[in-house]
Chains A and B, each alone.
Chain A
Amino acid sequence: MVWELELALYGLLVLTSVIALWVRDLLAAVASLTVYSFIAGTLMALMGAVDVALTEIALGAGVTGVMLIGGISLMRRRSSD
Chain B
Amino acid sequence: MRALGIMLAVATTALFVAASWDLPDRGDPHAPANVGVGPEYIERTEEDIGIENVVSAVLADYRSYDTLGETFVIFTAGVAVLFVLIRRGRDDRQA
Contacts and interface: CB of A to CB of B under 8 A. Distances in A.
A contacts B: CB pair < 8 Å: yes
A47 B55 contact: no
A13 to B, nearest CB: 14
Q: What 3 pairs across the A-B complex have the smallest Cβ distances?
A: A51-B55, A47-B26, A48-B27
4 contacts: A47-B26, A48-B27, A51-B55, A74-B88
Interface residues of A, number: 4
A51 B26 CA distance: 17
Nearest to A81: B2
Contacts of A48: 27
A69 to B, nearest CB: 15
Interface string B23-40: 000110000000000000
A74 B87 CA distance: 14
A47 B25 CA distance: 12
A44 to B, nearest CB: 12
A47 B28 CA distance: 13
A74 B27 CA distance: 45
Contacts of B88: 74
Nearest to B81: A67
